[in-house]
Amino acid sequence: MKIQGKLVSKILGLDSSAIAASCAVVEGGRVLASGFVNMKITHSQTLMPLVESTLKCAGLTLTDIDGFAVSNGPGSFTGLRIAVSAVKGMAFATGKPVCGVSTLESLAYNLIGRDCVACCVMDARRGEVYNALFEVSGENIARLTEDRAISIEELQAELAQYSNVISVGDGAHLVSAGNLAYEITRWQSAVSVCLASQDFTSAKELMPVYIRLPQAERERIEKS
């Protein structure tokens, strides 16, 4: 991967889009180190210690990193802001580029090596999920739908047209169609964020992607 003619080789990735938080350092598709916490602890408490410990395990410092990747949505509004802010801060401090990755697309990379339809699902509450479908064929990932907020019933009806569906993500258990990904490959992962990263840009251009309005804004509109 290149930006402005420079090779982006060592990538530090973050994900705190849902309950779990993770950090990884990947070089040329090879995982150098990774850390994962799924204990419902506030991401503002866990994310930077994860960065520190992951870099230490990889024998690297921030200045050794060529670029930063982060899942920038959809997901928890607070979680997205924390991870995006952390990446922007590290990128500004080091002068390195960043890449915002769809959380749902990164989930499809959890299933690399399989031949299936990846049903990437995140719990959006109120009877809805954030979802996108991808065709996974070995190491190839092909998008079948855009990222969207969709009712569980609508998604289950749509999945009826596909065979060999594997549901992945923190909302995978909400979808009864298809098979549930194994625990080790089910959750959002900074490793997959790194693997899915492609278009690197400057830190000031990185923003969260929410899909839906914040809950407070939705409630205000409903009351008006």
| Interval 8-22 mean pLDDT | 94
What confidence score (pLDDT) does residue 221 get?
Answer: 46
Q: Which candidate, 82, 209, 217, places its Cα nearest to that of 147?
A: 209
H helices within the chain, ranges in order? Answer: 43-58, 77-94, 103-108, 152-159, 183-186, 190-196, 215-223
What confidence score (pLDDT) does residue 3 get?
Answer: 45
CB distance 152 to 175 below 8 Å: yes
Q: What percent of the chain has pLDDT over 90?
A: 85
Instruction: Kindly report the CATH number that applies to the domain delimited by 2-104+188-223.
Output: 3.30.420.40
Q: How far apart (Å, rounded) are the C-alpha atoms in residues 190 and 153?
A: 30
CB distance 108 to 118 below 8 Å: yes
Q: Which candidate, 166, 68, 158, 30, places its Cα nearest to that of 108?
A: 166
Among 58-62, 151-155, 200-204, 219-223, the range scoring the smallest mean pLDDT is: 219-223
The string of pLDDT tens digits covering residues 29-86 is 999 999 999 988 889 999 999 999 999 999 999 999 999 999 999 999 999 999 999 9
Q: What are phi and psi of 203, to 5 degrees?
A: -60, -35
CB distance 36 to 185 below 8 Å: no
Q: How far apart (Å, rounded) are the C-alpha atoms in residues 213 and 33?
A: 35
For strand 6-7 and strand 2-3, is the pairing parallel, antiparallel, or unpaired? antiparallel
Please indicate whether the domains covering 2-104+188-223 and 109-186 agree at the CATH topology level.
Answer: yes
Q: How far apart (Å, rounded) are the C-alpha atoms in residues 79 and 85?
A: 10
Q: Where does residue 81 fall: left (phi above 0), alpha (psi -120 to 50 degrees), or beta otherwise?
A: alpha
Q: Was domain 109-186 assigned CATH 3.30.420.200?
A: yes
Cβ burial, residue 125 (10 Å; 0-12/13-18/19+): exposed
Segments making up each domain of the chain, as ranges: 2-104+188-223, 109-186
H helices within 37-111, ranges in order? Answer: 43-58, 77-94, 103-108
